[in-house]
Amino acid sequence: MKLPKYKQIASDIQGLVDTQKLGAGDLLPTEKELMSQYDVSRVTIRKALAELESQEVIVRISGKGTYINGSKARRNALELKGFLEDIHAQGKQPSSRVLDFKLTMADASLAQKLSIEINMPVYAITRLRLINDEPEILEHTFMPAMLFPELSIDIMNTSKYEYIEKDKGLKIALSRETVVAEVADQQLADTLNVEVGYPLIKVMSIGELEDGTCFEYSENYFTSKQFSFEIMARR
């Protein structure tokens, strides 16, 4: 089914943002210029802009114009990307701090999630993910040691996905994710620089390689101060 014209225009502008042809703070053409560019009415352009504004893609400032919004990084829940790739693509500065890195043995619950035997060695890694030096995500990740025997703190301070695909030559296929609401306890509050009771988004994910092998189980706590989730359903 063909999308309405205003949705096509909104999708076109979103595509320019996703491909970095438009970045945070860039000024969009005026309504009149967009009307001429797309050969549509002012009503159609305003509906397209309203669609983008509702998704926090743009911000309209009275008397100044319409700008690409730089206030929040966005994560497309249907498009699997690494944190660094996601944030760099949106004009922000991502970084990671490894808070804990150890080798442990998989208990029954973790073994089931990773499809491995109980007591097999796994890396247990805790990372703090930051956007523009502000804490945004606390990540607890478990990875089978047999897949990544040379895994190190240095590697986990950079891009996990880049290491897996470029250094190891493995192909990541998908991530099975469960999203729930959570409130910050004292430990989460201290780590993420929020108040106790602050509402968080908890995402539990199991990552699979192209051959079906599970390469990680992760629990991520998002503050959503600088990060929003996008789910797009098409009919």
- For residue 207, which phi and psi values (nearest 5 degrees)? -95, 140
- In terms of CATH, what superfamily is 73-228? Chorismate lyase-like (3.40.1410.10)
CA 145 – CA 122 distance, rounded (Å): 5
The reported pLDDT for the residue numbered 202 is 92
**Residue 77 · residue 231 · CB < 8 Å:** yes
The reported pLDDT for the residue numbered 146 is 95
The predicted model scores a pTM of 0.64
CATH number of 5-68: 1.10.10.10
Q: In the chain, where are the structural domains located?
A: 5-68, 73-228
Task: Per residue of the chain (235 residues), give pLDDT as tens.
Answer: 577 899 899 989 988 887 778 876 778 999 999 999 999 999 999 999 998 888 778 877 777 788 887 555 555 443 445 666 666 666 677 888 999 999 999 999 999 999 999 999 999 999 998 888 889 899 999 999 999 999 999 999 888 888 999 999 999 988 888 988 889 999 999 999 888 988 888 999 999 999 999 999 999 998 877 666 655 544 4
The reported pLDDT for the residue numbered 181 is 87
